[in-house]
Amino acid sequence: MTDRLPSRLPLIVVLLTLLVVFHRLLLGDVLFWGLPSLQFYPWREYAFDMLRGGQLPLWNPYNGAGAPLIANYQSALFYPLSWLGLVLPLSWAMSITAVLPLFIAAWGMWAFTGRLGIPALGRGVSALAFGLTSYLVARLGTYPAVATAAWIPWVMWAALGVLLYKRFRDVGWLALLAALQLLAGHAQTAWYSMLLVGLFTLYTTIRQRHKDGWQRLGMVVGGLVLGAAIASIQLLPTAELLRTSQRSGGVDFDFAMNFSYGPARALNFVSPNVFGNPGDGTYLTEGAFFEDAVYIGLLPFISALAAIIGWGVRRFRTGLDDLPASSSIPFWLALTVVALIFALGKYTPIFPFLFEHVPTFSLFQAPVRWHIWTVFALSVLAGIGTRSWGRGHWLFFGTRLAIAAGVGAALLALFVAPNLITIDDPDTARALDVLRVAVALTGLLGAGAGALTLLQPDRDSSRYVWWGLAVLAFVAVDVGWAAWGLNPTVPAAFYDRQEHDDTEARAYWPEDAERAIAFDTYLLFDDYRVAATQWQAYRSSELPNLNLLDRWPLFNNFEPLRVGEFARYIALIEDNLPDAANLLQAAQVSALYDETGARSELDHPVARAWFVDSVCWRADADAVSAALLEPDWQPLRQVYLIGDGDCPAVSEDGAARGMVTRVEDFSNRVGLFIDAPDGGWLVLADTYYPGWTVLVDGQPAEIQQANLAFRAVQVPAGSAAVEFVYRPAWLLPGAFISIAALIVLIALFRLRTADRPKP
């Protein structure tokens, strides 16, 4: 029997579903809740502003006393889809690049399952399940994570093509798609994807038993390596930042176990809102809804279970299984189990053991993110499982019972339970209402899935196309409903630049104040509506990194990777507040925010750059850290450097050997005009970081690490100009490797090999 469903119909259903669910974005609204406003939009807006001004967006001078911009992996500035912001209004471009990955993910799953041999209906169910899984939709504002995950099925498609056909162009496709994934900006998801491709490739190689199987496997490895080479222009600066960042040695245990998957959350596989929904303010539990989201649709989940059960029954009865793609079921089942165990994190002893003994498990937080394997594997199984929908007597009998149970559960939850149970406590009553609605909807969806099973026509029937369309529509409505409200939008005016008094001095948000305003006042994890109704106040808060939109300097830097010594300096400030005046003065901080969001000016003078009359040398960073806490330290008169030397006392007259008359900041270049008749040491309160060079009156000089996190340079008598220029060592090698790899890629697509039949 053949599957008469038009092969591209599922993609049309996916597209229509996306248009309905995200119509506000496509009509001009923007995502803003959380990371879109605190990271991704400000980074890209500033980067594109620099590009239009003729500069490479290498450095961000407005956050953290300056920080790498391109090297910040999640900025994804080399990712081709990010470039839409150069030719379209950025607000609309960001909306497009938020939704487009969902279609890419669905299309990729449709292509991959087709290459596995799954018929059109199954491909459509898999495409909808993965493209609109709540794992992706609930994270939509985390642009890099969703964009990276969207390429997983495509990379799998290309790897399978290499294993099946052993063609150069398939290696080329694998390299290209892997490069796109690596450039999309989320290291954790990319790493999990590469592990998945490696395991699938190894499993398939062993199962196929080709005489040249290991050669094919080597071609897959070569394609992935070539993809990494293409992405070198991004990977090299990110590696440099990682090596110098606070995560260079991994993350601590508590941070790594953050967002472990509580066992009770498994109910989310059958009901996305069993614990409520932050989109309508009904979320009941602690934690982040988007981290625990795993829903792929009830019918796809049932179909995945049917695939597993059907495979087991057939193997038990006959020892054989000739259904298409069934030979891969053990792999997807094992992947689901392993991912679920990993996602449990601290709730089992397994992940803590891996954290302590297996490399890479200490690099990331949130074990729940291993569920990308879970939802991917279940989505594939869902497509395979559609072939298990038979027409036997026992199936029909069981389906009728399931329909009756679903309808009964819905009626009981909606009409009987409210009259039988009286709860006085409002919180408990609210929780029961949420549970009732979840049970009712799951029951109705289960009944609907059962009805579709009973109504299925023969595959050769003319009615099969309409029935298949009904199945796809049912899944689309289910996952579309689950996605509703998870991504609140506001008018694009949210990102308009707000005017402020010009200032070079920085302000600082203490961690408690930042948390109170960001996550206790506006960005509530249990109710997204709060920020949506107060978006003007939230926008005006100047939280990091909203300040970047307005070119308003903050000493804070809300990024996953921060320069290590800067992070250490921040820790010194936090440990010593409110008695951290010297540390704040040395960082050019002239104002503090409090837990109400009010800004108060500090009473000490600050400067971006200044001359000191005393230079103290300390053996290492620890010694400098201790010295910075000495109560008699005078930051504008004395600087601490790392190295061998003495520590003269501050002169009594307080006269420094020069003065800074003007500072010009061009992001990648900082020019200082000075008057230094006697020479001396010049301190710049900007981040000390590899790649910065300095010219004193046009002559190269050496930058010293000043006060743990900043820069200093010695200038000779009579100097008039000092210029700091950011010339990262990775730029030319990264560009060369990427260009050379692209040339190899083009050659792979042009090489002709005889098509080999699929085994």
Name the band, by pLDDT with cuts 50, 70 and 90, for residue 503: confident
> Higher pLDDT residue, 403 or 620?
620
Structure tokens at 280: 């309508």
Pairing state of beta strands 710-715 and 67-68?
unpaired
Quick: pLDDT tens for 700-714. Answer: 999 999 999 999 999
Structure tokens at 279: 């989109």
Instruction: Give pLDDT, residue 462.
Output: 80
**Does position 4 have pLDDT exceeding 70, yes or no?**
no
> Higher pLDDT residue, 683 or 463?
683
Letter string b/e over residues 327-360, b meaning 16 or more CB atoms within 10 A of that residue's CB: bbbebbbebbebbbbbbbbbbeeebbeebeeeee
Share of the chain above pLDDT 70, in %: 94
Name the band, by pLDDT with cuts 50, 70 and 90, for residue 400: confident
CA distance 95 to 489: 10
Give the residue among 101, 98, 95 at the shortest CA–CA distance from 30: 95
CA distance 362 to 422: 48
Q: Mind giving me the DSSP string for 206-272?
A: HHH--TTHHHHHHHHHHHHHHHHHHTHHHHHHHHHHHHHBTTTT---HHHHTTT---GGGGGGGT-T
CA distance 69 to 61: 9
- Give the residue-averaged pLDDT of 641-645: 95
**Does position 755 have pLDDT exceeding 50, yes or no?**
no
How many other C-beta atoms are found inside a 10 Å radius of the C-beta of residue 662?
A: 10
**Does position 757 have pLDDT exceeding 50, yes or no?**
no
CA distance 549 to 111: 40
Structure tokens at 340: 């679920």
Q: What is the 8-class DSSP label of residue 588? A: T
Structure tokens at 752: 């002709």
Instruction: Give pLDDT, residue 317.
Output: 67
- Give the residue-averaged pLDDT of 391-397: 59
Please say whether the beta carbons of 30 and 95 come within 8 A. yes
Instruction: Give pLDDT, residue 257.
Output: 94
Determine which of 215-229, 454-468, 591-605 has the lowest per-residue pLDDT on average: 454-468
- Give the residue-averaged pLDDT of 561-589: 96
Pairing state of beta strands 489-490 and 589-593?
unpaired
Domain borders along the chain are 609-728
Give the residue among 174, 341, 65, 42 at the shortest CA–CA distance from 57: 42
Instruction: Give pLDDT, residue 603.
Output: 94
Name the band, by pLDDT with cuts 50, 70 and 90, for residue 626: very high
Instruction: Give pLDDT, residue 561.
Output: 94
Instruction: Give pLDDT, residue 262.
Output: 94
**Does position 431 have pLDDT exceeding 90, yes or no?**
no
- Give the residue-averaged pLDDT of 655-683: 91
Quick: pLDDT tens for 183-205. Answer: 999 999 999 999 999 999 999 99
Sheet architecture: strand order including 614-618: 609-612, 680-684, 710-715, 704-706, 638-642, 614-618
Q: What is the 8-class DSSP label of residue 756? A: P
Please say whether the beta carbons of 710 and 636 come within 8 A. no
Mean pLDDT of the chain: 92
Give the residue among 268, 256, 273, 271 at the shortest CA–CA distance from 342: 256
Instruction: Give pLDDT, residue 459.
Output: 75
Please say whether the beta carbons of 223 and 171 come within 8 A. yes
Quick: pLDDT tens for 110-151. Answer: 999 999 999 899 999 999 999 999 999 999 999 999 999 999
Instruction: Give pLDDT, residue 321.
Output: 54
CA distance 303 to 582: 64
> Higher pLDDT residue, 249 or 398?
249
- Give the residue-averaged pLDDT of 432-446: 86
Name the band, by pLDDT with cuts 50, 70 and 90, for residue 759: very low
> Higher pLDDT residue, 387 or 393?
387
**Does position 1 have pLDDT exceeding 50, yes or no?**
no
- Model pTM score: 0.94
Instruction: Give pLDDT, residue 389.
Output: 73
Between vectors from CA 380 to CA 376 and to CA 385, what angle results, nearest 5°?
A: 140
Instruction: Give pLDDT, residue 428.
Output: 78
Quick: pLDDT tens for 60-93. Answer: 999 999 999 999 999 999 999 999 999 999 999 9
Give the residue among 353, 346, 359 at the shortest CA–CA distance from 255: 346
Phi/psi zone of residue 57: left (φ > 0), alpha (ψ -120 to 50 degrees), beta? beta
Instruction: Give pLDDT, residue 214.
Output: 86
Determine which of 15-29, 70-84, 311-325 has the lowest per-residue pLDDT on average: 311-325
